[in-house]
Amino acid sequence: MITTNKIRKTQRMYDTGMRPLIFGLFLCMVFTLPIIGQEKSDKTVKPYVDTLNGFSILPPKDGVLNPEKNPKIIAEWFFYTPKTKRIEWSFRVTRVLGTGSHTDIQSFADEFARQLTKQKKTKILNEKVSKISGRDAIEVSGITEGKIDGELRKVYFRRVWVRTTFEKIEIDMSTPQETPKEKKKDKVTLVNAEFLSFELVAPLDNRDIIDAIWEKSVGSLKIMDVEKTLTQLKENSERAKGFLQDLWKNKGLAQISDKPMWYLVSVKDKPVGWVMMQIKPVRRNYIDGFELRLCSMRNESKDRVSMGRQQLFVDPKLEGGFWKIYTQVGSGKDSGLSSQEGLVQWNKIVCSINKNGRIEAREKEVPEEVRIILLPKAVGLLFPQLVDLTKHNTGYTFAEYSSDKNTFNMRTFTVVGPEWINVRGKRTLAIKMTDQPYLAAEPAVLWLGKDGMILRCNTGSSTIESAMKKQVLAYFPQADAYVKAINQLGKTKKKVR
């Protein structure tokens, strides 16, 4: 049985910075993090939505989301000057626990301000109690000192605490011998309250710019019902558990065609690459099972091509499996090669990652509450062909291993329902599905045929559409040769020239 408490407990292991309770300050931070690359941002900033922590907000424009944040931080953005690559401001979301005898929001505000002024050379410029998204909030601005690129400078900060939970606890400290009047005096009221903290920090000379950025972001803040989200996750996880049980009982993987499936990858309607995927029954290490092979090629630029190969094996009972993934970007001496190999054995995962000769070995225990909803990598790619598409507005939340950070993500598929789309100029009735790789991620949108085959998938700036092999060859005549080269990449683990 998957309970709400189990979801809360399990989620602490997931890579989403969920529900950390901290009372630390972010004012004297050292701006010395490595530069994090990202694609050019869209003109329209999209809301950052974190359903489990219960908020959505428009992050400051041109901010770079930090994927290597401290686990105690829910989300963090930095802005780098284009020429110097110096950090000019940072925006951070954390969770704060407030306890004590405070019974109203003003007493919390006084306590938070007192905590801030304990810091050396910290001056509060403004403090007020307000309402944000219908919740009590404490807004503070001030000046302190912090190191920016190793240089001690005056730092300007804006911060708001939004109260998300509030609970009064009355403790009776009296003894049986005391009179009713004395007992009343011995009753103490304590308060537990949780706050979401949002903070923007920058050099003092950027104050005017920071104020404008702050007002726009905080003005977009919306607080959500976390309990409702937890209830939905519980239902989705139970459904995912049932799906996995039915899959191996009904031998669902054996019913998928072993014919190659081809797809075209486009950016702004221009084909830039392709994907070929095929599943076959195989025997590996004396175990019968199914192996999904995926080959891909994409033109990153005029003279730069990326190639990838995935080999994903799973046994019929979904209790074990392995994967091998190889990626090469570019060719010749300037090319980069990365690979990873992993093995799942009931309650443990082991993984080896090789990035241009640098090898990292990782292990991860699989708790029972994770194991029963653990999504094999091959099943994740084939899910649209395996799930019942007639059950609309239905979600399935799985645990999926992330080798990058050696943790688990909560991946949610949702069968939305029928929708008309255009596929290569032809109007088609498809089944819409969303695929959210982890909580707070923007879901990919898929449109499927009745058989679950992907007709179109929108993810980021790319569009993937199903295609006949001859259609792929019309744009990429060397696709067959690339498949052979990519397969050779997987066998030799050497760069393809």
pLDDT tens-digit profile of 349-384?
999 999 888 899 999 999 999 999 999 999 999 999
Two tokens at 41?
Answer: 């941002």
Cα–Cα distances in Å, from 325 out to 338, 348, 403, 483?
8, 19, 11, 14
pLDDT tens-digit series, residues 393-440: 999 999 999 998 899 999 999 999 999 998 878 899 999 999 999 887
* Whole-angstrom distance, CA of residue 437 vs CA of residue 14: 12
Residue 51 has pLDDT above 50, yes or no: yes
At 54, the amino acid letter reads: G
Task: Read off the pTM.
Answer: 0.74
Chain region(s) in the chain for CATH 3.40.1000.10: 4-224
Cα–Cα distances in Å, from 328 out to 146, 280, 331?
41, 25, 8
* Whole-angstrom distance, CA of residue 174 vs CA of residue 176: 7
Q: What is the mean pLDDT of the chain?
A: 82
Question: In terms of DSSP bridges, do strands 135-148 and 30-31 run parallel, antiparallel, or are they unpaired?
Answer: parallel
At 440, the amino acid letter reads: A
Cα–Cα distances in Å, from 260 out to 163, 293, 298, 367?
53, 9, 18, 36
pLDDT tens-digit series, residues 220-248: 999 988 888 889 999 999 999 999 999 98
Q: Find, among 383, 350, 385, the residue nearest to 364 by Cα.
A: 350
Q: Which of residues 467 and 303 earns the better pLDDT score?
A: 467
Q: What is the homologous superfamily of the domain 4-224 according to CATH?
A: Mog1/PsbP, alpha/beta/alpha sandwich (3.40.1000.10)
Q: Find residue 298's DSSP bridge partners.
A: 273, 306
Two tokens at 89?
Answer: 């401001």
| Cβ atoms of residues 247 and 318 within 8 Å | yes
Burial 267-297 (b: 16+ CB within 10 A, else e): eeeebbbbbbbbbeeeeeeeeebbbbbbbbb
